[in-house]
Structure formats: structure tokens, C-alpha cells
Chains A and B, each alone.
Chain A
Amino acid sequence: MNDLLLTFPKGGVHPPERKDLTEHSAVEPLPIPEEVEILLNQHFGAPCNPLVKKKDQVAEGDAVGEVDKGLGATIHASVTGSVKGVGLSAHPIAVKAPSILIQTDPSAEPREWQPSDWKGLSREELLRRIKNAGIVGIGGAGFPTHVKLSPPPDAKVDTLILNGAECEPYLTTDHRLMLEHAEKIVEGAKIILTVLGIKDCRIGIEANKLDAIEAMKTACGKASPNGFNVTVVPLKVKYPQGSEKQLIQSITGRRVPGFGLPFDVGVIVQNVGTTKAIHDAVVLQKPLYEKVVTVSGRGIARPANLMVRIGTRISDIASYLGGTLPGLAKVVLGGPMMGFAVSTLDIPVTKTTSGILFLTEDEIDARPYGQCIRCGWCLDACPMGLLPNEIGVYVEAGHAGDTSQFGVFECFECGCCAYACPAKRPLVQFIRLAKMKAKK
């Protein structure tokens, strides 16, 4: 059946899914930690300026950081308490980054967010609510959503695609959200359609989540049509099905040009998790300060899907789940194909943390790499039609700067090449180096 489903034509790999560790675990709320570290750059764009100072009292949902100009998104307090300090924290990617440390007030009542009818609100008001809630693409990129939903006037957008592919192994956050909040996601889709002034929405879901496909189909059927056309599209299980360009090609057959953006081919893509956050931002006027995170891998005592306050340290999450297990070799934020390995557990969760993987020796492959044997498997694996083998050989020979002929900037680092390479060559690392040298 898998072979009959829609998919992208070129490249891709089939890594072991390992979603069974958490796919049947309902999302459970993590108890509010004693303190949270809220990073000020959690999005694509400039870091926020802090709006609070030491000893200030803040309530759950208050804005604590804002961008005055340029691309960015507001950041909110995820707990009620007092500001312990504004300083530096470990950051999953940037190593160190400015942050706000908040001491939780254990006696504080949880804040309630009352729903209100959004129909009839203007496009500007909807966008304002999305912006105020600090919504970014929580699937991983962190691109500010209010910017993404304001395409240039000459762009002729006709289709909204919701990304429920969740093609990364281990991760089950979008899966659980679609099962548990299908109607809110469909409602969120209608909000986005209203903002964009279009009618058509396709929800792409990989066929390894049949229950989610059913749940979303039911939700689409139940939702009052209002002239909207929201449908579910089952997709072939193949990594990187959830990559924006591949997903657009799978569903619409359109190909986003080099250096182009989805709206160049009339499409806007939103992750289903972001769509749920848009629903909460508009209907509840609730800012984005908590999110579902898959905590998985054979190196954690109890894998789970947790609703986590942003700023919660990974170490607090690990101890809640019974601690790490012997044999733990690597901790990865995000999925195993594109996530970031971290060296410490004192790193806080951000808006874009979709998974925390505690991987043991037998899950990773730390064998040393050898010379390229020219098998060409990376060429078959690359969804962008690039030549990872050539780039790797150039980089190793000290010619990283001469690789622009190979289109290194078209590479989005999905990792298919390095996954497939039988010589275990770190091809993504070579390509990153090539990009750095080619920029200079």
C-alpha cells in the first residue's frame, strides 16, 4: 500500500522508525520545575531584548522579551514567579545565549485562558494575536509565523499545506497532537486560511500514523465547511517526507525553485503543532509558552510525550522520567537525522525543541569513517540531486571553498547521504564546512 501513496520522486531513505517507544503514550504534563531558563533567541532572526529585570514578578504568559526591529517573535514567561536574573545560558545551537532565569512561585494558581469566537475578526487582528503570542514554526525552523503568513502581495498563494508527516524517527509529538487535538488543528487551519484569504488546505500525514490520519479525517468531516476545503493526504513513509520542499512536491507536484520560497509556487506550509499553537493564540489568546516534546531513546528510563514549559532544563525532564540509563552515549535535541547533539543536560527547552533523545551506543553508529568507495549510494539518497561524495572528497583535499559548483547551498542537511554512506563518512559535516568556506 505504501508504494501507491503520494511521495517525492528523488532520493530519500528509510531509517528505522523507533516511534513505538512513545507513539501510544498520551501527552502528560510535566510538573512545573522550580526554575526555568528562558532563552532570548528561540527563533529565526534577532534575539529578543529582555523586558524584565532582576526581582521583577512575572505571571505565566507575560511577555518577557521582544524584538524591536527586524525578524523575531515575542517571548513569554512560562511560569509565575520572580526573575532571578538576566544572563547567559547554554543554548542548543549557539553554545551560549542571553536568557532570563525565573524562580517559580509554587503557590501560584495556573492561569486560565478562556475561549472566544474568532469568526468575524479582521485579518489584521488575527495576525496581531499570532504575533503577540510569539508563534514561530515549532517544527524546528523557528521562523516567525506572523511573517510567514504575510506573503508579499504579488505572491499568488492558493494552497495551505499542514505538515503532519513527522518523518524523523523517534518523534511522536505531531502524532499525539493530531490524535488528541484534531479538531483544534483543523480550526487552526481555518484561521490560517482566513488570514491568507484562500480555501484549500491539505494535511499531509505519513502512512505510519493511520490512527492520526483517521482522527484528522473525522475532524475535517465534522468541522462546518464554511466554504473551506480541508482534506487529509496520506503520504508514503519515506524520510525526509516532512521537508518543506519535498512535502510540497509530494502533495502538489510543484517544485520550489532554488533560493525560492513556498509562496513562489503558491503554497504556504505550516507544521500541525504550529497550527495548534495558532489556534490557542487566536481562540484562547494564549501565548506559546509550553509545548509537547517527545522524550525518547533507549537511554532514558521512561520514554514519554510531555507537555513542557519552555525554559525547562533537560536535566529536570530526565529526572522526572526516572533518569538516564547506563550506556547513554548521546543526547540529541530534535530528531536523530537533523537534531543537535548537546554536551550537557543543563540546556533549556525552546519553542523549537520537538524531541529530546537519549541515545545509547547501540542506537548511534560511532564507527570511524573511511575513504569514499564511490558506491554512489549518497547520490541515490540525496533528495536534492546533489553530489555529497564529490563535495566530501573536495573538502578532505582542502578545497572546501571550491564546491559552489556542486550547489552546496541547495543542501538542507537532511542527512540522507551520511545515513546511507557505507563508509560512515560525515558528509553533512563536510558540506557544512564547504558552506562556511564558500561564503567567505
Chain B
Amino acid sequence: MLTVSVSPHIKSGESVEKIMWTVVVCLLPPLILSVFIFGVQTLIISAVSVASCVAAEAVSQKLLHRPITIKDGSAVITGLLMAYVIPPGVPCWIPILGAVMAIYVAKHLLGGIGFNIFNPALIGRAFLMATFPVAMTSAWLPPIRDAAVFKYMGSGIDAVSTATPLYVLKHYGIGALMEKFGSMSAIYSDFLVGWRPGCIGETSALLLLLGGLFLIYKRYITWHIPVSVIVSVAFFTWVFGGEKFFTGNPLLAILSGGVFLGAFFMATDYVTSPSQAPAKLIFGAGIGALTVLIRLKGGYPEGVCYAILLMNPLVPALEGWFRPKRFAPQKGA
């Protein structure tokens, strides 16, 4: 029996599975590090999040009579990313609810992979922020290494909880932060490696950068979105982030919060980001600007999640405005 089908008869070795599982592998180092920073509960929360996202995908596809595609790794990524933007001290059942929202509502009710408007993991997080605001904004854990320092730091604000650097910055200023870490250089090096309070997978800028660079090397993502997000956060913080104009600290801004996680792994989600280089630059710049706006003027200390969610619905318009240049458009068409 000979197969007969339309050309081409050979295909590149790439596949959706290969891309997705490569992203999963690139996301693992920050998770492993988080166990050393915050303890084994980061692993438990992530496992629950991944398992519930995969289960939600299977059930959603079953209910909607679609082929079950849990092996493609896309729900695993959603599960990991959602866990990475959750504080490490939340009850471990919390991601289950987020998974239903992320996978069933934000992904499959909108048509499944390729048709969702918003990044599912971030919708999951936004839903959890709205339903469990206390847990999601206060369940921070101090890095184990510096437990004493961070517990002390928290004591002036709230006797029980610790606080993220962005929270401290927003409410107490750079002096308070410096007091806890010792010096600016200690802040930079600890932030780069990941020894700071924060969400499970967002603290290690270095490991996220290495994972992101590998994805760029594999040509699974391009540099445009990550670079424009990071440059834009740095720029707008520098301009508006200080006492006076042009006195903000851009380096601290990009190493804090979820900038690297968002820039390399969330804003680059194929489905919810534009495909053409100029559109990517605008998309990333918009995320950076909105992040800084939320950080400086909004109610939350961190804004990457909402900045990406706010830029997501602009993607169809960006795709329409920036199309590839046609080689030879026919007259009248």
C-alpha cells in the first residue's frame, strides 16, 4: 500500500511535542532551585498544579469531544507556569482551582490550543488573586538561608508574614531593602541567583535567563519579546521610578518580581503573542510599560502578570497591522 498525499512529502523534524517538552525542560532548573530556597512545598505545589492542569485538559477535551492531547506537553507548561507565579506558602490545593479556570475556561472553552486569547496560566493566577487575595498576596516565605533576616524584616509590617522586595520597595523604600540585604551589591547578586522572597519560580533571574537563551538558541522563540520587555521595564523605571525623573534603578527593577519569567516564558507564548518582529517589539514594550505603571501607581507591588494579560487581546490587532510583506501582491487583491 502506497501512501498518497499532497506535497511536501518530507517535513522538518520539529513538532509541537518537541517544542513544548523543551520548554518544560528549560523551566525545571528554577523549580529545583526553589526547593533549596523555599523548601519542598514548592515541588508539591508545582506537582499539584501540573497534575491538575493535565487532568483538566483531559477532562475538558473529553467533555468537548475533542482529541485528547495531554501528551503534547502544553498543559504541563501551563501547570508549571501557574505554579511559578504563586507564592510558596499557599495551601497546596489552591492550584487545582486555578487549573480549572486556566485550562477549561481560558483555553478549551475558547477553542483549545491556538484559539485562546489570554495566556491560560496567567488567567489561572488572576483568578486565584481574585478568589484568594489574602493567601495570594501574603503567603510569602523567606529564603531558608536567610530565614532570620527576613522574618525580622517582616516584623515591622506584619508579625507573621514576610514581604517581597517589591512590596518593601513600594512601601518602605530602598533603604529598608538595603538594611535587610546589607549592600546594593548583595541585593543584585542575591536577586540574580534567586535568594529572595517571591513566587515559586520567578526568583532566579539567572536560571530563567539561561533557559530563555536556550530557547532562543533552538529558535523556538526569538529575542524580540524578552529583550523589549526587559528594556522597557528598565527604561520606564529609570525615567519614572525615582524621586525625580531619570533617577530610578533599572537593574533592581528587572531583577525583581516576575520580569524574567514573564519576558522569556509567558510573553513568548505562541498563541497569545504576535509573530512578526515589529509587532513583537511593540508587544514587549507595552508589557514593560504597563508593568512599571502597575508597580508605581497600581495597588499591587508587581504588575507583570496583568501587563501581559492586558497586552494579550491586542495580539490579533498587532498581527493585522504587521503582516509579512507580500512578494508580489496581485492588483486589486
Contacts and interface: CB of A to CB of B under 8 A. Distances in A.
A336 B8 contact: yes
Interface string B294-333: 0000000000000000000000000000011111111101
Interface stretch (B27-35, B118-126, B179-187, B268-276): B268-276
A410 B329 contact: yes
A339 B6 CA distance: 9
A290 B324 CA distance: 43
B19 interface: yes
A429 B326 CA distance: 20
Interface of B: 2-12, 14-16, 18-19, 69, 72, 112-115, 270-271, 274-276, 323-331, 333
Given A383-B327, A405-B333, A426 B2 contact: no
Given A258-B328, A371-B114, A387-B323, A420 B9 contact: no
A404 B331 CA distance: 12
Contacts of A169: 10
A422 B19 contact: yes
A168 to B, nearest CB: 10
Contacts, number: 157
Contacts of B274: 376
B289 to A, nearest CB: 23
Contacts of A421: 11
Contacts of A410: 326-330
Ranked nearest first, the 8 interchain pairs of A and B with the lowest CB-CB distance are A376-B275, A415-B8, A258-B330, A365-B11, A429-B6, A258-B328, A385-B326, A385-B324
A328 B3 CA distance: 9
Contacts of B19: 375, 422
A432 B329 CA distance: 18
A422 B324 contact: no
Nearest to B3: A330
Contacts of B10: 15-16, 169, 336-337, 359, 363-365, 419
B7 A415 contact: yes
Contacts of A10: 324-325, 327
A331 B5 CA distance: 10
Interface string A329-363: 11110001111111110000000000001010001
Nearest to B325: A385
Contacts of B11: 364-365, 418-419, 421, 424
Nearest to A334: B7
Interface in A1-33: 10, 13, 15-16
A376 B319 CA distance: 10
B6 A428 contact: yes
Nearest to B13: A365
A376 B270 contact: yes
Interface in A237-253: 245
Contact of B331 (A259, A336, A340): A259
A383 B274 CA distance: 19
Nearest to A361: B3
Contacts of A338: 7-8
B275 A371 contact: no
Contacts of A428: 6-8
Q: B8, B18, B325 — which one has the most chain A CB atoms within 10 A of its CB?
A: B8
